Amino acid sequence: MRWNSFARTLGFAAVVAVGLPIASTLFGSTLAFSQLLAPYVVGVIALYAAGIAPTRTRGVTAAGLALLLGLLLLAVADGVTELAIGAALILSVVRSGLLYRSRPARAIVLEAGLLVGGLSLAKFLLIGGLGGVSLALWGYFLVQSLFFLIGGVALRPEASPRRDPFEHARTQLLSLLEEEPH
């Protein structure tokens, strides 16, 4: 399932918001909420990075990078605020650095706006408790969905493997020789 459009990211936001209470119900007896929230946020960021990628291969790469950076974040973040800012930065770097391209200044301004806007809305919606945190996650991804409404962003092209020029010429020659005369 891909969520690389405005509407699909809104759906992803709803699933993430509903998923937190479900995860809390499943793991709440063994983990404190603060112990559950940090890995949930990192997992959601990695899952989102995989889902906005144009291909499965790039999705795995994006998710792997987001997960690796997220694990580093878990090791150094002291609180929920640092975790939220770090996770938002990870998403910004993966999305505009690996998956999508635009002019560098535009990408920085766009990602900064989405980061600040998403975190601001999340903070505004955070009323405390599990429901408030779920609502804050929904609000953050609501703002992230705007990425797909803003123009000037294109998929980053796949890196073409380096081909040997002689092998390329040989392949072309063989294809010409195999053609039937008209």
- Residue 62: how many CB atoms within 10 A of its CB? 24
- Pick the more confident residue, 28 or 96: 96
Structure tokens belonging to residue 109? 């301004």
d(CA 97, CA 57): 16
What residues contact 125, with CB distance under 8 A and at least 6 apart?
132, 135, 136, 138, 139
Indicate if the pLDDT at residue 113 is higher than 70. Answer: yes
Contact indicator for 68, 114 with CB cutoff of 8 Å: no
What residues contact 95, with CB distance under 8 A and at least 6 apart?
49, 52, 111, 147
Per residue in 87-103, pLDDT (tens digit) is 999 999 999 999 988 88
Section 58-65 average pLDDT:
95
Residue that has been written with the tokens 């195999």 in this structure: 178
Indicate if the pLDDT at residue 161 is higher than 70. Answer: no
Q: What is the pTM of this model?
A: 0.80
Indicate if the pLDDT at residue 160 is higher than 60. Answer: no
User: In b/e form, how buried is each residue of 121-137, taking b as 16+ CB within 10 angstroms?
Assistant: bbeebbeeeeeebbbbb
Residue that has been written with the tokens 């294109």 in this structure: 154
- Of the listed ranges 15-24, 91-100, 135-144, 147-156, the least confidently predicted one is 147-156
Contact indicator for 45, 90 with CB cutoff of 8 Å: yes
- Pick the more confident residue, 70 or 152: 70
d(CA 143, CA 146): 6
